Amino acid sequence: MRGELLTVIIVVATALAFDFTNGFHDTANVVATSISTRAMAPRLAVGYAAMLNFVGAFISLKVAATVASDVVDPGAITLLVVFGGLVGAIAWNLTTWYFGLPSSSSHALIGGIVGAMLVAKGPDAVFFEDGIIGKVMLPALVAPTLAFVVGGASILVLYRIVGRLRPRPVTSGFRGGQVISGGLLALAHGTNDAQKTMGVIALALVAYGSLPASDPTPPTWVVVSAAAAIAVGTYAGGWRIIKTMGSRIHKMDSAQGFAAQGAGAAVILASTHGGFPLSTTHTISGAVIGSGAAKRLSAVRWGVAGNIVVAWIVTLPVAAAIGALTYAVTRLFGTGAAGPLVVSVLIVIGSTLLFSRRAHEAATVAPAEA
Amino acid sequence: MLAAIDWDTLVTVIWASLLAGIGVTAAYGLAILGATRAADLGREGRVAEAGVYALIGVIGLGTVLAAIVFGIVVLSGK
């Protein structure tokens, strides 16, 4: 029992670490448009998003319920499966962060859990049709397409309404509007993404026996800690991804920024209400590209957009493979806490090397640019 | 396989996103139109027209705020 308690502590700590990387990696996308159009200063935008991420995590629990009960069989879950899934997601998040690619933390998490579960219990323990296809893959296709359409249609409507006005008040008006739309997007991100971690911790608590498999609703301490972890991760910021999202896809004016953020927030909030564990990265990318393409197709840097699409496609299978491999490695040490402890130490060493290498590269590039 | 998918929820997400995304953005556009034109016409001394545009601006902004509050209430309900 003491070994299991240590394992569940390691798994919960790993889940919160994933939540931190989720905030670090994903929420940058939320603030990128506000920064790009100079609606908000970078540090202020990040702090504002962090605060609203925290608040958003308390609004709904439908996505947490989907992750905890509709993706894999909660009755077959084990702590090592949850741990393997989390490691798959963290490894993929850190890799895509290193290369500056805004891939999906959500799909990484679900891919990791599914991969580990497939190795542990076989395909019968994974809900492929109604869970993976119906609640993950189909929304994964619909959401960015919908955000693209809403973002594009919104900017066309906006240009129709304000197109003949003097540019100065229009620009300042939309910059003010981006404080609202950016806040809504951050709130939407908190409602959807923090809930995925809550769902995973709920799965771990089911495996430990402190939550029933029939109703794995996360307790309050899980909600508060997941909200805090994603907010702190957000504040830590992901500047490389901000650069990609804010200016490398296309240069935006403040009306486009407002339309993109409004479209992203609308799609994410509607999906959260439907209980779909959506990729906020996919959605905001679709909205940003849509608002650019509606103005002028050539305004979008399609090469950068293409790299993002490739990252989307490979996320689920690669995270699943890492999750499966991690599960297999931890099982070599038995079913106790030894496997997760060894893998956790390896992750900390790998992350430290990755961060120090990135810091060294940044320090090398900065004097050259100066 | 298709029968297992919750199409009703998916269709609701699609129309709600379209309505909220385009509707709120357009309402905010009207708020900017109303405020800008009201200021311009007011400076020209065309008070009645300025008042109409100011009303459009207020309605636009009110619609945005009402939609946000409605959305949060719906989300935080069951």
Minimal CA separation from B30 to chain A, in Å:
7
* Structure confidence at residue B48 (pLDDT): 95
CA–CA separation, A260 and A283 (whole Å): 10
Chain A residue with the nearest C-alpha to that of B33: A162
Given a contact cutoff of 8 angstroms between Cβ atoms, the answer to whether A157 and A70 are in contact is no
CB atoms B33 and A263 under 8 Å: no
Structure tokens at A1: 């029992």
**Cβ–Cβ contact B11 with A under 8 A:** no
3-state secondary structure at position A72: strand
Q: What angle do CA A130, A131, A134 make, to 5 degrees?
A: 55
Least confident span in A54-58, B4-8, B20-24: B4-8
- CA distances for A286 relative to A102, A144, A294, A313, B61, angstroms: 12, 5, 12, 15, 26
Amino acid at A281: T
CB contacts of A142 in chain B (<8 Å) are 10, 13-14
Q: Residues A314-345, buried b or exposed e (16+ Cβ, 10 A)? A: bbbebbbbbbbbbbebbeeeeebbebbeebbe
Q: Does B47 touch chain A (CB under 8 A)?
A: no
Chain B nearest-CA distance from A271, in A, is 6
| Weakly modelled stretches of chain A, pLDDT under 70 | 1-3, 27, 102, 237-251, 297-301, 304-305, 308, 362-370
* A194/A15 Cα distance (integer angstroms): 11
ipTM of the complex in this document? 0.93
Q: List the domain boundaries for chain B.
A: 35-78
CB A53 within 8 A of CB A22: no
State the DSSP H helix or E strand holding residue B51, giving kind and residue range, or none if neither.
helix B47-76
CA A110 – CA A95 distance, rounded (Å) = 17
Task: For residue B55, report the phi and psi dihedrals to the nearest 5 degrees.
Answer: -65, -40
More confident residue, A113 or B76: A113
B58 interface with A at CB cutoff 8 Å = no
Report how far residue A43's alpha carbon sits from residue A31's, in angstroms, rounded to the nearest whole number.
10
Residue A370: per-residue pLDDT: 42
Residue B35: band (very low, low, confident or very high) from pLDDT cuts 50, 70, 90: very high
pLDDT for A90? 87
pLDDT score for A300: 65
B contact test, residue of A258, A273, A282 with most B CBs within 10 A: A273
Compare A345 and B32 and report the one with higher pLDDT. Answer: B32
Most distant CA pair in chain A, distance? 71
Distance CA A104, CA B63 (A): 33
Contact A180 B64 (CB under 8 A): yes
Quick: pLDDT tens for A239-251.
555 555 555 555 6
Count of C-beta atoms within a 10 Å radius of residue A270: 28
Best residue in A69, A162, A217, A261 for a mutation probing chain B (most B CBs within 10 Å): A162
Test A258 with B28 for CB contact under 8 angstroms: yes
Q: Does the global pTM surpass 0.80? A: yes
